[in-house]
Amino acid sequence: MNTLIWLRTDLRLHDNPALAAAAANGTATALFIAAPGQWRLHGEAPAKVDFWLRNLRELSQDLARLGIPLKLLTVDTWDQVPDALVAFCADHAIEQVHANTEWAVNERRRDDTVSWRLAEAGVDWTLHHGATLLKPGTVLTGKGDTYRVYTPYARACRERLRTAPLRAIAAPKAQTAPAWGPDPLPDAFDGYGPASEAIRALWPAGESAAGDRLDAFADGVIDAYRDERDFPSLPATSCLSPYLAAGVLSPGQALRAAQAANHGELESGNVGAATWINELLWREFYQHLLAACPALSMHQPMKPETAAVPWRDAPDDLTAWQQGRTGLPIVDAAMRQLLALGWMHNRLRMVTAMFLSKNLLIDWRLGEAWFMAHLVDGDLAANNGGWQWSASTGADSVPYFRVFNPLSQSRKFDPRGVFLREWLPELAHLDDSAIHDPSPMERAAAGYPLPIVDLAQSRLRALEAFGNLPKA
């Protein structure tokens, strides 16, 4: 029997339940469906699409060694997927299609249509669980509701993971290849050029690269994670988020590596490992919320009352923020890092997001879209969750009256200005004190702008805007 694994954001051999099922039930073929028009509608970053393509090239070679050809279909948008998939199955005598569930609303609507169209064609369709540690909808409060507060959610997850540890799924065994071979992959997808050499060098493709990075992090770096993770000049984070977002690395693989570094513990023991596991659970929390609340996929705030926030229409301020020309050095350095590397340090994602949504009082959705348009690790659930946390519109978000002061954050987490000097070379000559907030004379001499907003006054403006909202 011919079976099909439809690859989406699960570009890996190992720990891939849909691929394992396809291989166990017959002669497997792999398929990736490119939809550049849909990606543009979703605002996907060129760096992210390039990362997908580079990982597909690596995966195609890995699959070929197992006798599993990787085929490519190209459509414009997802409404063309059902016809294309039914035709592909007919042409290749496919009797079963396996895929891992995706939880955003457009993805679920696409899969609902595919389900009944394949059924009409007499093709079995099975969705598997491979994107999160625990299946969304299975971690619920005592009342049977989705958790809206992180701490009790994480406690419930840890208990589940203690009592039923996740088992690794092996890569498929080699098979006799079907009559067709793999398809050649393009140099680029339509409308998406290659990423810069800097981005490609920072984010090498393939499971081996992801595994090497995970091993290096778990073998020592993770020990200092709690104490050093907030300092953007230090190599103290895992830099695994692009691999998790594209599914080159599974969350289960990440968790098992962290537990191995912590003698099997989830919460106690090595504080660095325990802290990183906590971050994995935050990622999980946002995935579960996305699955339970389709409105999050439709640009709606988690807290309905915050839809009434009087956001400013300030295109010049938005452009200054986007381009790293706000006159706030830590904000500008972070935004330039994003533009150059397709990535931003997590502490700085919070700082820049809060500056936009609170100090500039600009709609968080504009910032969310800008991040997605540039992040190589762009993930709807994580990006939306982070932005709504910072903007005080989301589940278990920061209270609206807590507004990060970017100058305080800069002095605390980059005290010697190492990160600032890397990304703001025009200020590199200033001393460790002056670089965080140069004087007007120092700014003029360096060609660096004055701040576009007064931090104290803008904070009061944000407090008033949020404080006057109707009660939920």
| Catalytic choice (106, 278, 346, 405) | 346
Last residue of a domain, one of 269, 292, 315: 292
Domain end, chosen from 128, 159, 180, is at 128
> Are residues 274 and 154 part of one domain?
yes
Same domain, 120 and 236: no
Dump pLDDT digits (tens) for 199-208.
999 999 999 9
SS3 127: strand
**What proportion of the chain, given as a percentage, has pLDDT over 70?**
100
Mention every residue, 6+ apart, whose C-beta is less than 8 A from residue 122.
none
Helical residues (DSSP H) of 42-149, grouped into ranges: 46-64, 81-91, 105-120
Are both 446 and 316 inside the same structural domain? Answer: yes
Same domain, 354 and 309: yes
For 332, the token pair is 């500008």
Same domain, 141 and 124: no
**Residue whose tokens read 């005592």:** 142
Domain contains 405: yes
174 within some domain: no
The answer to whether residue 276 is catalytic is no
Q: Which residue in 311, 405, 422, 442 is the catalytic one?
A: 311
Q: Residue 302: which pLDDT band, with cuts at 50, 70 and 90?
A: very high
CATH code of 242's domain = 1.25.40.80
Return the DSSP state at 415. Answer: T
Q: Are residues 316 and 455 in the same domain?
A: yes
Among the three residues 247, 269, 292, which one is the final residue of a domain in this structure?
292
- The CATH number linked to 7 is 3.40.50.620
Q: What is the pLDDT of residues 239-295, one digit of tens each?
A: 999 999 999 999 999 999 999 999 999 998 999 999 999 999 999 999 999 999 999
Residue 74 has pLDDT above 80, yes or no: yes
Q: Does 331 share its domain with 409? A: yes
The number of domains in the chain is 3
Contacts of 289 (CB under 8 A, 6+ apart): 146, 148, 296, 302, 381, 385, 395
- Low-confidence winner among 62-71, 86-95, 198-207, 257-266 (lowest mean pLDDT): 257-266
Question: Is there a catalytic annotation at residue 387?
Answer: yes
**Is residue 180 annotated as a catalytic residue, yes or no?**
no
User: Are 327 and 399 found together in one domain?
Assistant: yes
Rounded to whole angstroms, the Cα distance separating 103 from 94 reads 25
Mean pLDDT, residues 150-167 = 94
Q: Is residue 184 part of a domain?
A: no
Inside any domain, residue 173 = no
Residue 472 counted as domain residue = no
Residues 157 and 26 in one domain: no
Same domain, 7 and 104: yes
Give Rg (Cα) of the chain: 23
Q: Is residue 207 part of a domain?
A: yes
pLDDT digits (tens, 9 = 90+) for 344-380: 999 999 999 999 999 999 999 999 999 999 999 999 9
**The pairing of beta strand 94-100 with beta strand 2-7:** parallel
Q: Whole domain around residue 347: which residue ranges?
A: 304-466
Kindly state whether residues 142 and 273 are assigned to the same domain.
yes
DSSP-derived secondary structure for 325-345: -SS-HHHHHHHHHHHHHS---
What is the per-residue pLDDT for 471? 78
Does the residue 449 lie in any domain?
Answer: yes
Largest CA distance in the chain: 75
Query: At residue 192, does pLDDT exceed 90?
Result: yes
Q: Which two tokens stand for residue 107?
A: 């993805």
279 is catalytic: yes
Mean pLDDT on 135-150: 95
**Residue 432 and residue 363 share a domain:** yes
Q: Is the pLDDT of residue 472 over 80?
A: no
pTM for the model stands at 0.97
CATH number assigned to the domain comprising residue 384 = 1.10.579.10
Spot the catalytic one: 6, 125, 276, 364: 364
- Give, in order, the Cα–Cα distances in Å from 296 to each of 50, 163, 263: 26, 31, 37
- Name the active-site residue from 343, 387, 389, 423: 387
DSSP count for the chain of H helices, then E strands = 21, 5
Report residue 468's pLDDT band, with 50, 70 and 90 as the boundaries: confident
Domain-embedded: residue 369:
yes
Of the candidates 228, 279, 422, 442, the residue annotated as catalytic is 279
